[in-house]
Amino acid sequence: MKIEVTGTGPLEVDASVLAVPVFEGDAADPKGIFAEIDRRLGGHLASAATEEDFQGKTGQVLSIRTLGKLKASRVLLLGLGKREGAERVLPLAGFEPLRLAAGDAARLAQKGGATRLAFASPRLPGQTAHEARAIVEGALLGAYRFDRYKTEEKKKKPRLLESLVVALPPGLERSKEVKESVALARTVAQSVAWARDRVNEPPLHLTPSRLADAARELAKEAGLQVEVLGPREIAGLRMGMFLGVTRGSAEEPRLVKISWIPRGAAAKKAPVVIVGKAITFDSGGLSLKPTEGMVDMKTDMAGAAAAIAAMKVVAELAPPFPVHALVGACENMPGGRAYKPSDILIARNGKTVEITNTDAEGRLVLGDVLAWGVETLKPAMIVDLATLTGACIVALGMTTVGAFGPDGPAMDAVLAAARAAGEDTWRLPLTDSVKEELKSDVADLKNAGTRMGGSISAAWFLKEFVGDAPWVHLDIAGPSSTTKERGHVAKGGTGVGVRTLVELVRARIQEDSRPPRR
């Protein structure tokens, strides 16, 4: 999609559709661009808003034809919520309401056959670059489609949105800050779309080896270092839990390491390490899932998709410190060689683990990869993303990421990054009493506790493999995929986590560039 940024008034932009963000009260008491559109349409905009009960609440959308009275053939009104405090609330929300509105506009414009969308910025004082980024990210992601397996769709050749015009206050459209924000937005949206594509691929076409190939291709295009290891090398790393999980599958596992390493002395700085769960299909193993619980298990590699995709943006940001993404990819399948309940596996760090549930497999692979990352890379911070537990969905629903980890700068940084990215994230506790459920009579620990507090016990399990390293675990089981369209979020894989990781690295770049305190 072509992106244009202009200082021309929104009503003077040639476009198929003009999208206008509206605050609550703007329709009842018309002002600004709303009032001008209403005047040109002879009062029909305000009357339509009244008839449709459009109040400007977050998520509300109103579409009206202009009948030749504007350059755009259709106007979309998009609710942003309360105007009072918007200058403070929108930045605190990472401009997510604006990003969602832009996603709605792009999707509706595309579905209506429009090829050119103009979007008027809300023009909050001092926020032009942030608004431009949210609009571009939202529109690009709102126009996202995954239809490569829909043969009838291809025959119809649906019209795609070809260009987006972002209308900013005159004089600001050419600023360096705006240009950088728009460029970043494009790269971030491309990376989120890359992650979505991987999550949406059927497991037949996204095996562990093919995920590794996709990671290798992305790394090559971005100028990143990449290393891919097979089962023999994984065995040489003493990853007994990882190898146990993959034993029942005919598909070979892959261990992937993608690295950004700056030149000079900066290469020796302690790195940021990202670990993504990459179970490319999870049947549950011998603890077999029911059919309805297995249908979407191609999405069990969403954490890895986010980790790999974020590295594309990292390469563009070129931080003055190393960043590594680690992914242990395999399938969890039943079979004659599959690992069994009551087996005891030996982890890379030497801990013995009694298997009580083969469907609690992601933590086993993550545990070995985390231990490897901590031991060999000595990270300044290590963050893992995983579709780890249904219990986290029960606790937080389908749109919120669960964050676990000790108090400290790492947790503070991740939560701040999630807020800046507009990705809803809520911290959950590492309750000591739940840790007791992992005690085993025959090994160092069990791989699963009871259903009660299941997301907490899973986090405690991972904690066993990071030692004292600054660590944060993000359980993305809920928001990793969705069955409903919402704003810039399409059905299927969402690419959740990519934007948070980007903001985490961006914030660390800013921190690294500050002069040391005296």
Please write the tens of the pLDDT for every residue from 280-335. 999 999 999 999 999 999 999 999 999 999 999 999 999 999 999 999 999 999 99
Q: What is the pLDDT of residue 452?
A: 93
Which of 348, 363, 446, 463 is the catalytic position? 363
Question: What confidence tier does 514 reach under pLDDT thresholds 50, 70, 90?
Answer: confident
pLDDT score recorded for residue 518: 54
Residues 373 and 266 in one domain: yes
176 domain-assigned = no
Residue 28, CA distances (Å) to 38, 49, 54, 81 in order:
12, 8, 9, 14
Q: Are 474 and 497 in contact (CB under 8 A)?
A: yes
Per-residue confidence at 153, pLDDT binned at 50, 70, 90?
low
What is the distance between the alpha carbons of residues 208 and 475, in angstroms, rounded to a whole number?
Answer: 21
pLDDT confidence bin for 512, thresholds 50/70/90 = confident
Helix 409-421, helix 498-513: angle, nearest 10: 120
Q: Are residues 448 and 366 in the same domain?
A: yes
Sign, CA dihedral 129-140-122-94, equals negative
289 given a catalytic annotation? yes
- Examine the residue annotation and report whether 156 is marked as an active-site residue of this protein: no
Give the Cβ contact number of residue 436 at 10 Å: 11
Rg for the chain, CA atoms, rounded: 24
Asked whether residue 103 falls in the same domain as residue 47, the answer is yes
Domain shared by 293 and 405, yes or no? yes
- The answer to the question of residue 505 being in a domain is yes
Is 221 domain-assigned? yes
401 vs 418: CA distance, rounded Å: 9
Query: pLDDT tens across 332-353, in order?
Result: 999 999 999 999 999 999 999 9
Q: In terms of domains, do 331 and 280 share one? A: yes
Name every residue whose Cβ is closer than 8 Å to that of residue 325 and which is 6 or more positions away in sequence.
256, 257, 258, 259, 273, 274, 275, 276, 307, 308, 310, 311
pLDDT tens, position by position, 204-258 = 999 999 999 999 999 999 999 999 999 999 999 999 999 999 999 999 999 999 9
Give yes or no: residues 250 and 369 share one domain.
yes
Residue 406: domain span: 190-512
**Angle, CA of 512, 514 and 517, to the nearest 5°:** 110
From 116, 140, 170, the end of a domain falls on 170
Six-digit token pair at 511?
Answer: 């921190």
431-436 LR contacts (CB < 8 Å, sep 24+): 431/456, 434/460, 435/460
Whether 400 has a pLDDT exceeding 60, the answer reads yes
What are the tens digits of pLDDT across the range 404-422? 999 999 999 999 999 999 9
pLDDT tens string 244-289: 999 999 999 999 999 999 999 999 999 999 999 999 999 999 999 9
Domain count, the chain: 2
330 occurs within a structural domain: yes
Q: Which of 138, 170, 202 is the last residue of a domain?
A: 170
Alpha helices in 425-497 (DSSP H): 432-435, 454-463
Q: Which of 79, 176, 172, 184 is nearest to 126 (CA)?
A: 172
Residue 262 domain-assigned (yes or no): yes
- CATH number of residue 269's parent domain: 3.40.630.10
pTM of the entire predicted model: 0.96
- Whole-number average pLDDT of the chain: 96
Element (H, E) at 194: helix 176-200
Q: Which of 65, 83, 269, 289 is catalytic?
A: 289
* Any domain includes 478: yes
CATH of the domain at 45: 3.40.220.10
Task: Check pLDDT > 80 for residue 89.
Answer: yes
Residue 4 predicted with pLDDT over 70: yes
**Residues 132 and 224 both lie in one domain:** no
DSSP codes of every residue in 69-80? SSSSSEEEEEEE
Q: Are 241 and 293 in contact (CB under 8 A)?
A: no
Query: 83 or 425, which is more confident?
Result: 425
